[in-house]
Amino acid sequence: MSQAVEIPEVETARRDEAPAGCTPDEQAEERYRQALSAMIDHAVENRRMEVLVDELAWTLASVGFHFGPGATADILTKFGRRLSWLAERKRAEEEAERARKEGRAPH
């Protein structure tokens, strides 16, 4: 990675704590979101995004290697879906902004 990466607040992990009575999966998701958010914040603040990305890539590669081709396919599928969702959201926000500027309702 040769350029600085800005991650808008809306795309970083949520920092609120998991509500009481949530499932073990929900608790784990919140714990992981908080941990990843802290790592992203640290990498951005210290200009170490390339280091973080490298470590994340190694970690995901290790998961794929140890858990097999199905896990690798799942990682890549989820990555692609989430990337597509972010791109579509950005496109919709840009369209809404254009519509607002032109005085018309967004589609």
pLDDT, position 17: 58
User: Average of pLDDT values for 5-23?
Assistant: 59
For residue 40, give the nearest of 29, 28, 51 by alpha carbon. Answer: 51
Contacts of 105 (CB under 8 A, 6+ apart): 99
pLDDT at residue 2 greater than cutoff 50:
no
pLDDT at residue 8 greater than cutoff 70:
no
